[in-house]
Amino acid sequence: MTTLVTIGDLVMDLLLEVQLPARAGEHQTAHSLCFEAGGACTTILAARGLGLDVAALGAVGDDVVGRFLIELLAEAGVDIAALQMPSNSTTTAVVSLSDRQTRDHVFLGRYGQGGTIHFNAAAAQRLTAADAVFVPGYTLLEERLAGLMAGAFSWLAREPRRVYFDVGPFLGGLQRDRVAEALRLVDVLLLTGDEIAFVTHDLRDLLRRHPQLTIALKLGERGCRILSGETDVHVPGFAVEVIDTIGAGDAFAAAFIWADLQGYSLVECGTIANAMGAASVRRAGAGRNVPSRAELQALLDAHRKGIDLSC
């Protein structure tokens, strides 16, 4: 079975459905509240559901939240043996305020604190067994993971694997040399239009400087745009009722990675990933709520895409 290693961005989400904007001095009762795995946990769980073996590198806190994530990932069959839990540390957490009427969100978060996470023998063993590696951009901003990322990048420079990198909305906080270091190792770059400026002034120029790259530009309900070599194609999205967009990009990444590793064409990869994103926004939250392969197949069949996911 194909094995994917993910690095970092293990997050607990506290999801509150409210009316936005939430103003100082005003009080309101949330329409719903739930705790759910977020960030790369969504990508991990979606990849597992599609059939990939997944090993998670990084850290969770020595707290009730970290233990919850550990149990959740273990129950899903994720290899968590190389995860680190430093004593007296905390887990990265995000409070997500979501307005279902306006589809707006407010995210309030804090990176996990405590302990330095190093690249060790367990991490090297997982990378050695991996067919591919997924790195969320958030990982590069979590200070305690700096040693892990430096070691992983050094290892990947010597022992190349197929690397998928999701830019994320905060990569602009990094110095350009850190971004360039990452891009030299990346095979597939996933990003939104708002994130282009974090890596380049022009996508075509980025491809000229990094000809190995395939770029999947996420366009929300309009689908995605795929650029690779001479290919530049728009892959249409799926018209669905939108309940909540939290986690849709993380789920999109999992589906694109799975499809690419199974040998589907770039257009098929984009279509499958679009289907995952569309199926994801039809429900609230992410994490354990990610759509199943059967749901993706049903959506693809309903739109007569002619793609069989049973490979």
In this prediction, residue 176 carries a pLDDT of 75
Token pair for residue 128? 């050695």
pLDDT digits (tens, 9 = 90+) for 153-199: 999 999 999 999 999 887 777 777 788 888 999 999 999 999 999 99
- pLDDT for 246 beyond 90: no
Q: Domain spans of the chain?
A: 3-302
Token pair for residue 114? 């405590």
- Architecture of domain 3-302 in CATH? 3-Layer(aba) Sandwich (3.40)
- pLDDT for 1 beyond 80: no
pLDDT digits (tens, 9 = 90+) for 23-66: 999 999 988 888 899 999 999 999 999 999 999 999 999 999 99
DSSP for 154-203 reads HHHHHS--EEEEE--TTGGGS-HHHHHHHHTT-SEEEEEGGGGGGT-S-H
Q: Quote the strand ranges of the chain, DSSP E.
A: 3-7, 10-17, 32-39, 53-57, 92-99, 104-110, 132-136, 162-166, 188-192, 214-218, 224-228, 231-235
Instruction: Say how far apart CA 109 and CA 33 lie, in whole Å.
Output: 16
Question: Full-prediction pTM beyond 0.85?
Answer: yes
pLDDT digits (tens, 9 = 90+) for 75-86: 999 999 999 999
Tell me the pLDDT band of 102, cut-offs 50, 70 and 90: confident
